Structure 1
Amino acid sequence: MYFKRALILILVIFFKNITEIVSKFEFTNIKCNSKDKSFLDFEYCYIKSVNRSYKYISIRANIHEKPIKDAATSLQLFRRFRSYMPVSLNISFDVCKYMASKKNLRDPMLRLYDEISTKYTNTNHKCPFDHDIEVDKLPIQFLSQHFTDVLPLPPGEYGFFSSWSSKGAERATVWVYGNIA
Protein backbone atom coordinates (compact mmCIF):
# COMPACT_ATOMS: atom_id res chain seq x y z
CA MET A 1 0.00 0.00 0.00
CA TYR A 2 2.78 2.43 0.94
CA PHE A 3 4.65 1.58 -2.29
CA LYS A 4 1.60 2.41 -4.47
CA ARG A 5 1.14 5.83 -2.81
CA ALA A 6 4.82 6.63 -3.21
CA LEU A 7 4.73 5.56 -6.86
CA ILE A 8 1.65 7.69 -7.55
CA LEU A 9 3.30 10.71 -5.88
CA ILE A 10 6.46 10.24 -7.96
CA LEU A 11 4.43 9.94 -11.18
CA VAL A 12 2.43 13.10 -10.38
CA ILE A 13 5.65 15.06 -9.75
CA PHE A 14 7.24 13.61 -12.90
CA PHE A 15 4.30 14.50 -15.17
CA LYS A 16 3.98 17.97 -13.64
CA ASN A 17 7.64 18.66 -14.44
CA ILE A 18 7.20 17.43 -18.01
CA THR A 19 4.12 19.54 -18.69
CA GLU A 20 5.46 22.70 -16.99
CA ILE A 21 6.29 25.41 -19.53
CA VAL A 22 9.74 26.93 -19.15
CA SER A 23 10.53 30.12 -21.06
CA LYS A 24 14.04 30.69 -22.31
CA PHE A 25 15.56 33.88 -23.70
CA GLU A 26 18.06 33.55 -26.56
CA PHE A 27 20.21 36.31 -28.15
CA THR A 28 19.82 36.66 -31.91
CA ASN A 29 21.66 39.91 -32.74
CA ILE A 30 23.20 43.10 -31.36
CA LYS A 31 23.71 46.42 -33.12
CA CYS A 32 25.77 49.27 -31.69
CA ASN A 33 25.67 52.54 -33.62
CA SER A 34 27.74 55.64 -32.90
CA LYS A 35 25.89 58.80 -33.97
CA ASP A 36 28.96 61.01 -33.48
CA LYS A 37 32.30 59.28 -34.15
CA SER A 38 34.25 62.30 -32.86
CA PHE A 39 32.55 61.87 -29.46
CA LEU A 40 32.64 58.06 -29.17
CA ASP A 41 33.12 54.94 -31.24
CA PHE A 42 32.65 51.27 -30.51
CA GLU A 43 35.82 49.20 -30.27
CA TYR A 44 33.72 46.05 -30.14
CA CYS A 45 30.09 45.04 -29.83
CA TYR A 46 29.34 41.34 -30.14
CA ILE A 47 27.56 38.24 -28.92
CA LYS A 48 29.92 35.41 -28.02
CA SER A 49 28.70 31.82 -27.93
CA VAL A 50 30.97 29.74 -25.69
CA ASN A 51 28.80 26.64 -25.99
CA ARG A 52 25.13 25.86 -26.55
CA SER A 53 24.06 27.03 -23.12
CA TYR A 54 26.46 29.92 -22.36
CA LYS A 55 26.36 33.09 -24.46
CA TYR A 56 27.22 36.63 -23.47
CA ILE A 57 27.34 40.21 -24.77
CA SER A 58 30.43 42.39 -24.63
CA ILE A 59 30.57 46.06 -25.61
CA ARG A 60 33.35 48.63 -25.38
CA ALA A 61 32.72 52.28 -26.25
CA ASN A 62 35.80 54.49 -26.54
CA ILE A 63 34.97 58.00 -25.30
CA HIS A 64 36.97 60.73 -27.03
CA GLU A 65 35.62 63.73 -25.09
CA LYS A 66 36.23 62.97 -21.42
CA PRO A 67 34.94 63.50 -18.77
CA ILE A 68 31.21 63.01 -19.31
CA LYS A 69 29.42 65.17 -16.74
CA ASP A 70 25.91 64.80 -18.11
CA ALA A 71 24.46 61.63 -19.58
CA ALA A 72 20.91 60.60 -20.38
CA THR A 73 19.38 57.41 -21.70
CA SER A 74 16.15 56.16 -23.14
CA LEU A 75 15.22 52.47 -22.69
CA GLN A 76 12.38 50.58 -24.34
CA LEU A 77 11.35 47.00 -25.01
CA PHE A 78 9.78 46.05 -28.36
CA ARG A 79 8.03 42.90 -29.56
CA ARG A 80 7.95 41.86 -33.18
CA PHE A 81 4.53 41.28 -34.69
CA ARG A 82 4.81 42.43 -38.30
CA SER A 83 7.28 45.08 -37.26
CA TYR A 84 8.71 45.94 -33.86
CA MET A 85 5.98 47.41 -31.64
CA PRO A 86 6.58 48.89 -28.15
CA VAL A 87 5.76 46.55 -25.26
CA SER A 88 6.90 48.80 -22.40
CA LEU A 89 6.81 52.51 -21.84
CA ASN A 90 9.79 54.51 -22.97
CA ILE A 91 11.87 55.12 -19.84
CA SER A 92 14.04 58.23 -20.19
CA PHE A 93 16.21 59.45 -17.35
CA ASP A 94 19.33 61.39 -16.46
CA VAL A 95 21.99 58.78 -15.74
CA CYS A 96 24.10 61.08 -13.55
CA LYS A 97 21.18 62.01 -11.28
CA TYR A 98 20.02 58.40 -11.12
CA MET A 99 23.48 57.04 -10.18
CA ALA A 100 23.74 59.69 -7.43
CA SER A 101 20.41 58.79 -5.79
CA LYS A 102 19.35 55.33 -7.14
CA LYS A 103 15.65 56.10 -6.69
CA ASN A 104 12.68 54.47 -8.44
CA LEU A 105 14.02 50.91 -8.32
CA ARG A 106 10.41 49.67 -8.38
CA ASP A 107 10.34 50.20 -12.14
CA PRO A 108 11.42 46.89 -13.79
CA MET A 109 13.37 48.66 -16.57
CA LEU A 110 15.32 50.76 -14.05
CA ARG A 111 15.93 47.69 -11.93
CA LEU A 112 17.31 45.88 -15.00
CA TYR A 113 19.55 48.88 -15.79
CA ASP A 114 20.76 49.02 -12.18
CA GLU A 115 21.54 45.30 -11.99
CA ILE A 116 23.44 45.35 -15.29
CA SER A 117 25.43 48.46 -14.33
CA THR A 118 26.25 46.98 -10.92
CA LYS A 119 27.36 43.52 -12.03
CA TYR A 120 28.56 43.77 -15.63
CA THR A 121 29.78 47.31 -16.38
CA ASN A 122 32.35 49.81 -15.17
CA THR A 123 29.71 52.57 -14.78
CA ASN A 124 28.43 51.84 -11.28
CA HIS A 125 29.45 55.22 -9.85
CA LYS A 126 28.44 58.86 -9.88
CA CYS A 127 29.39 61.22 -12.68
CA PRO A 128 31.80 62.25 -14.12
CA PHE A 129 32.71 59.27 -16.29
CA ASP A 130 36.37 59.81 -17.14
CA HIS A 131 36.97 56.40 -18.70
CA ASP A 132 35.77 54.28 -21.60
CA ILE A 133 32.43 52.48 -21.11
CA GLU A 134 32.47 48.71 -21.02
CA VAL A 135 29.87 45.95 -20.69
CA ASP A 136 31.83 42.84 -19.83
CA LYS A 137 30.33 39.39 -20.50
CA LEU A 138 26.65 40.06 -19.78
CA PRO A 139 25.33 36.46 -19.80
CA ILE A 140 22.15 35.27 -21.42
CA GLN A 141 21.10 33.53 -18.17
CA PHE A 142 20.84 36.92 -16.44
CA LEU A 143 18.57 38.40 -19.12
CA SER A 144 16.60 35.17 -19.45
CA GLN A 145 15.81 35.23 -15.73
CA HIS A 146 14.84 38.91 -15.88
CA PHE A 147 12.67 38.68 -19.02
CA THR A 148 10.86 35.48 -17.98
CA ASP A 149 10.57 35.83 -14.18
CA VAL A 150 10.65 39.55 -13.33
CA LEU A 151 8.88 40.67 -16.53
CA PRO A 152 6.78 37.64 -17.49
CA LEU A 153 6.83 38.08 -21.25
CA PRO A 154 5.06 35.70 -23.65
CA PRO A 155 7.06 33.77 -26.28
CA GLY A 156 8.10 35.78 -29.33
CA GLU A 157 10.79 37.93 -30.90
CA TYR A 158 11.92 40.98 -28.91
CA GLY A 159 14.19 43.98 -29.29
CA PHE A 160 15.65 45.97 -26.40
CA PHE A 161 16.46 49.52 -27.53
CA SER A 162 18.67 51.99 -25.71
CA SER A 163 19.62 55.49 -26.83
CA TRP A 164 22.46 57.37 -25.10
CA SER A 165 22.83 61.16 -25.03
CA SER A 166 25.33 63.64 -23.68
CA LYS A 167 25.46 67.46 -23.87
CA GLY A 168 21.93 67.49 -25.30
CA ALA A 169 22.72 65.36 -28.37
CA GLU A 170 22.14 61.68 -29.09
CA ARG A 171 25.56 59.97 -29.16
CA ALA A 172 24.87 56.24 -29.54
CA THR A 173 22.20 53.57 -29.85
CA VAL A 174 22.34 49.92 -28.85
CA TRP A 175 19.80 47.33 -30.03
CA VAL A 176 19.78 43.83 -28.51
CA TYR A 177 17.55 41.33 -30.28
CA GLY A 178 16.35 38.02 -28.88
CA ASN A 179 13.73 35.30 -28.80
CA ILE A 180 11.73 33.95 -25.92
CA ALA A 181 10.73 30.37 -26.62
Structure 2
Amino acid sequence: MRFTMVRLFWTILLTLEHRGESITRHTNVKCEALDKSFAEFPVCNLKVLGRGVIAENMHIKLLKLPVQKISVNIAVYKKLSGYHPFLFNVTADLCHYLKHPNPMNLLHYIYTAVKPFSNFNHSCPYNVSTNLIYHDIVVKDFVLSDQMFAKIPYPKGNYMLSIKFATDDVWRIRLNTYFDVDLEKQN
Protein backbone atom coordinates (compact mmCIF):
# COMPACT_ATOMS: atom_id res chain seq x y z
CA MET A 1 0.00 0.00 0.00
CA ARG A 2 2.76 2.43 0.95
CA PHE A 3 4.70 1.60 -2.23
CA THR A 4 1.58 2.32 -4.33
CA MET A 5 1.10 5.74 -2.72
CA VAL A 6 4.76 6.63 -3.18
CA ARG A 7 4.66 5.47 -6.81
CA LEU A 8 1.50 7.50 -7.42
CA PHE A 9 3.07 10.61 -5.86
CA TRP A 10 6.22 10.32 -7.99
CA THR A 11 4.25 9.57 -11.14
CA ILE A 12 2.25 12.77 -10.68
CA LEU A 13 5.37 14.82 -9.97
CA LEU A 14 7.30 13.41 -12.92
CA THR A 15 4.47 13.84 -15.43
CA LEU A 16 3.56 17.40 -14.55
CA GLU A 17 4.40 20.03 -17.09
CA HIS A 18 4.05 23.78 -16.84
CA ARG A 19 0.61 24.28 -15.27
CA GLY A 20 0.22 28.04 -15.81
CA GLU A 21 -3.35 28.93 -16.63
CA SER A 22 -5.00 25.64 -17.39
CA ILE A 23 -7.90 25.30 -19.78
CA THR A 24 -9.94 22.12 -19.88
CA ARG A 25 -12.87 21.16 -22.08
CA HIS A 26 -14.88 18.21 -23.34
CA THR A 27 -14.12 17.00 -26.84
CA ASN A 28 -16.44 13.98 -27.17
CA VAL A 29 -18.70 11.64 -25.24
CA LYS A 30 -19.81 8.10 -26.06
CA CYS A 31 -22.47 6.19 -24.14
CA GLU A 32 -22.91 2.47 -24.62
CA ALA A 33 -25.45 0.10 -23.12
CA LEU A 34 -23.56 -3.18 -22.83
CA ASP A 35 -26.83 -4.84 -21.77
CA LYS A 36 -29.61 -3.28 -23.88
CA SER A 37 -32.30 -4.87 -21.71
CA PHE A 38 -30.91 -3.01 -18.65
CA ALA A 39 -30.50 0.58 -19.90
CA GLU A 40 -30.75 2.90 -22.86
CA PHE A 41 -29.49 6.40 -23.63
CA PRO A 42 -32.12 8.80 -25.03
CA VAL A 43 -29.53 11.62 -24.76
CA CYS A 44 -25.74 11.43 -24.93
CA ASN A 45 -24.11 14.51 -26.45
CA LEU A 46 -22.06 17.65 -26.05
CA LYS A 47 -23.56 21.11 -26.31
CA VAL A 48 -21.78 24.42 -26.86
CA LEU A 49 -22.94 26.87 -24.17
CA GLY A 50 -20.68 29.73 -25.17
CA ARG A 51 -17.32 30.52 -26.65
CA GLY A 52 -15.05 27.64 -25.61
CA VAL A 53 -17.60 26.35 -23.06
CA ILE A 54 -18.72 22.82 -23.88
CA ALA A 55 -21.24 20.97 -21.72
CA GLU A 56 -21.93 17.25 -21.51
CA ASN A 57 -25.53 16.02 -21.43
CA MET A 58 -26.58 12.48 -20.67
CA HIS A 59 -29.85 10.69 -19.92
CA ILE A 60 -29.66 7.09 -18.74
CA LYS A 61 -33.00 5.29 -18.74
CA LEU A 62 -32.89 2.29 -16.41
CA LEU A 63 -35.14 -0.54 -17.61
CA LYS A 64 -34.61 -3.10 -14.81
CA LEU A 65 -35.33 -2.04 -11.26
CA PRO A 66 -34.52 -2.25 -8.41
CA VAL A 67 -30.75 -2.05 -8.68
CA GLN A 68 -29.19 -3.60 -5.57
CA LYS A 69 -25.45 -3.99 -6.03
CA ILE A 70 -23.54 -1.46 -8.18
CA SER A 71 -19.86 -1.66 -9.03
CA VAL A 72 -18.10 1.12 -10.90
CA ASN A 73 -14.80 0.94 -12.77
CA ILE A 74 -12.97 4.22 -13.45
CA ALA A 75 -10.05 4.21 -15.86
CA VAL A 76 -8.11 7.12 -17.34
CA TYR A 77 -6.41 6.85 -20.73
CA LYS A 78 -4.01 9.31 -22.36
CA LYS A 79 -3.82 9.73 -26.11
CA LEU A 80 -0.33 9.05 -27.41
CA SER A 81 -0.63 6.95 -30.56
CA GLY A 82 -4.07 5.75 -29.60
CA TYR A 83 -5.41 5.73 -26.04
CA HIS A 84 -3.20 4.03 -23.46
CA PRO A 85 -3.82 3.42 -19.73
CA PHE A 86 -2.73 6.37 -17.61
CA LEU A 87 -2.47 6.61 -13.83
CA PHE A 88 -5.84 5.16 -12.70
CA ASN A 89 -7.87 1.99 -13.16
CA VAL A 90 -9.99 1.54 -10.05
CA THR A 91 -13.07 -0.56 -9.31
CA ALA A 92 -15.23 0.37 -6.33
CA ASP A 93 -18.55 -0.55 -4.74
CA LEU A 94 -20.80 2.44 -5.44
CA CYS A 95 -23.42 1.46 -2.84
CA HIS A 96 -20.76 1.30 -0.12
CA TYR A 97 -19.38 4.69 -1.20
CA LEU A 98 -22.85 6.32 -1.10
CA LYS A 99 -23.37 5.09 2.48
CA HIS A 100 -19.81 5.94 3.60
CA PRO A 101 -18.33 8.70 1.40
CA ASN A 102 -14.55 8.79 1.57
CA PRO A 103 -12.85 11.97 0.30
CA MET A 104 -9.62 10.03 -0.28
CA ASN A 105 -11.31 7.84 -2.90
CA LEU A 106 -11.02 8.61 -6.63
CA LEU A 107 -14.74 7.98 -6.94
CA HIS A 108 -15.32 10.92 -4.56
CA TYR A 109 -13.67 13.42 -6.92
CA ILE A 110 -15.76 12.33 -9.88
CA TYR A 111 -19.01 12.06 -7.89
CA THR A 112 -18.64 15.53 -6.32
CA ALA A 113 -17.80 17.07 -9.72
CA VAL A 114 -20.85 15.61 -11.48
CA LYS A 115 -23.36 15.76 -8.60
CA PRO A 116 -24.34 19.47 -8.98
CA PHE A 117 -25.25 18.79 -12.63
CA SER A 118 -27.19 15.55 -12.07
CA ASN A 119 -30.19 14.10 -10.28
CA PHE A 120 -28.16 11.17 -8.93
CA ASN A 121 -28.62 11.55 -5.19
CA HIS A 122 -30.10 8.16 -4.30
CA SER A 123 -28.68 5.39 -2.18
CA CYS A 124 -28.97 1.66 -2.81
CA PRO A 125 -31.25 -0.06 -3.61
CA TYR A 126 -31.94 2.29 -6.51
CA ASN A 127 -35.75 2.24 -6.76
CA VAL A 128 -36.98 5.57 -5.51
CA SER A 129 -40.40 6.47 -6.81
CA THR A 130 -43.36 5.23 -8.80
CA ASN A 131 -42.82 8.10 -11.23
CA LEU A 132 -40.55 6.65 -13.93
CA ILE A 133 -38.58 9.85 -14.57
CA TYR A 134 -37.06 9.54 -11.08
CA HIS A 135 -35.50 6.22 -12.03
CA ASP A 136 -33.65 7.86 -14.90
CA ILE A 137 -30.23 9.37 -14.30
CA VAL A 138 -29.82 12.76 -15.95
CA VAL A 139 -26.63 14.83 -16.28
CA LYS A 140 -27.36 18.28 -17.71
CA ASP A 141 -24.86 20.92 -18.80
CA PHE A 142 -21.84 19.39 -17.04
CA VAL A 143 -18.87 21.65 -17.80
CA LEU A 144 -15.29 20.78 -16.87
CA SER A 145 -13.51 23.37 -14.77
CA ASP A 146 -9.87 23.77 -13.87
CA GLN A 147 -10.72 23.38 -10.16
CA MET A 148 -11.74 19.77 -10.85
CA PHE A 149 -8.12 18.98 -11.70
CA ALA A 150 -6.57 20.74 -8.70
CA LYS A 151 -6.25 17.60 -6.55
CA ILE A 152 -5.48 15.20 -9.40
CA PRO A 153 -3.34 17.22 -11.82
CA TYR A 154 -2.91 15.98 -15.37
CA PRO A 155 -0.14 16.92 -17.78
CA LYS A 156 -1.07 18.66 -21.01
CA GLY A 157 -2.76 16.32 -23.46
CA ASN A 158 -5.87 14.51 -24.65
CA TYR A 159 -7.56 12.06 -22.28
CA MET A 160 -10.39 9.59 -22.11
CA LEU A 161 -12.20 8.85 -18.85
CA SER A 162 -13.90 5.47 -19.10
CA ILE A 163 -16.54 4.65 -16.51
CA LYS A 164 -18.22 1.24 -16.48
CA PHE A 165 -21.13 0.24 -14.26
CA ALA A 166 -22.00 -3.30 -13.22
CA THR A 167 -24.94 -4.72 -11.35
CA ASP A 168 -24.90 -8.22 -9.95
CA ASP A 169 -21.32 -8.60 -11.27
CA VAL A 170 -22.35 -8.05 -14.91
CA TRP A 171 -21.07 -4.95 -16.77
CA ARG A 172 -24.13 -3.05 -18.02
CA ILE A 173 -23.10 0.50 -19.05
CA ARG A 174 -19.93 2.16 -20.40
CA LEU A 175 -19.43 5.93 -20.56
CA ASN A 176 -16.39 7.34 -22.35
CA THR A 177 -15.74 11.04 -21.89
CA TYR A 178 -12.96 12.60 -23.93
CA PHE A 179 -11.35 15.84 -22.78
CA ASP A 180 -8.34 18.08 -23.33
CA VAL A 181 -6.18 19.59 -20.60
CA ASP A 182 -3.96 22.70 -20.94
CA LEU A 183 -5.14 23.95 -24.26
CA GLU A 184 -3.52 27.11 -25.54
CA LYS A 185 -5.66 30.17 -24.86
CA GLN A 186 -7.28 31.55 -27.96
CA ASN A 187 -7.33 35.33 -28.14
TM-score in same-fold range (> 0.5): yes
Is the CA contact (8 Å cut-off) linking 2:113 and 2:148 kept in structure 1?
A: no
Q: Do structure 1's residue 135 and structure 2's residue 120 form an aligned pair?
A: no
Residues 125-174 of structure 1: CA deviation (Å, up to 9, x unaligned): 31122211111221122xx3212x22221111111110111121110100
Query: Out of 128, 148, 160, which is 1:146 matched to?
Result: 148
Aligned match of 1:70: 69
Question: 2-side partners of 1:92 and 1:120: how far apart?
Answer: 23
Aligned match of 2:110: 113
**Segment drifting more, 118-127 vs 45-54:** 118-127
Q: Computing the radius of gyration over CA atoms, which structure comes out larger, 1 or 2?
A: 1
Displacement of 1:23 in angstroms is: 1.6
Is the CA contact (8 Å cut-off) linking 2:70 and 2:95 kept in structure 1?
A: yes
Aligned match of 1:124: 121
Q: TM-score, normalised by structure 1?
A: 0.80
Displacement of 1:41 in angstroms is: 0.6
**Segment drifting more, 162-171 vs 48-57:** 48-57
Is the CA contact (8 Å cut-off) linking 2:79 and 2:159 kept in structure 1?
A: yes
Aligned match of 1:81: 80
**Segment drifting more, 125-134 vs 91-100:** 125-134
- Larger fraction in helix: 1
- Structure 1: gaps of 5 or more residues: 1-19
- Structure 2: gaps of 5 or more residues: 1-18, 128-134
**Matched residue SS, 2:119:** coil
Q: Alignment RMSD, CA only?
A: 1.8
Moved over 6 A (4+): none
Question: 2-side partners of 1:117 and 1:126: how far apart?
Answer: 16
Judged with a 3 Å threshold, the aligned counterparts in structure 2 of structure 1 residues 153 and 56 are, in CA distance, closer, same or farther, namely same
Question: 2-side partners of 1:173 and 1:93: how far apart?
Answer: 15
How many residue pairs match? The answer is 158
Question: 2-side partners of 1:117 and 1:176: how far apart?
Answer: 12
Question: 1-side partners of 2:49 and 2:69: how far apart?
Answer: 36
Alignment of 1:13-28 (within 5 A): 21-28=20-27
Letter in 2 for 1:172: I
**Matched residue SS, 2:58:** strand
Displacement of 1:90 in angstroms is: 1.1
**Matched residue SS, 1:89:** strand
Letter in 2 for 1:90: N
Residues 59-90 of structure 1: CA deviation (Å, up to 9, x unaligned): 11111111111111000111111121222221
Letter in 2 for 1:124: N
**Segment drifting more, 124-133 vs 109-118:** 109-118
Displacement of 1:117 in angstroms is: 4.8
Letter in 2 for 1:41: E
Question: 2-side partners of 1:113 and 1:165: how far apart?
Answer: 17
Question: 1-side partners of 2:41 and 2:126: how far apart?
Answer: 16
Question: 1-side partners of 2:44 and 2:115: how far apart?
Answer: 19
Aligned match of 1:165: 166
Percent of aligned pairs sharing the same letter = 24
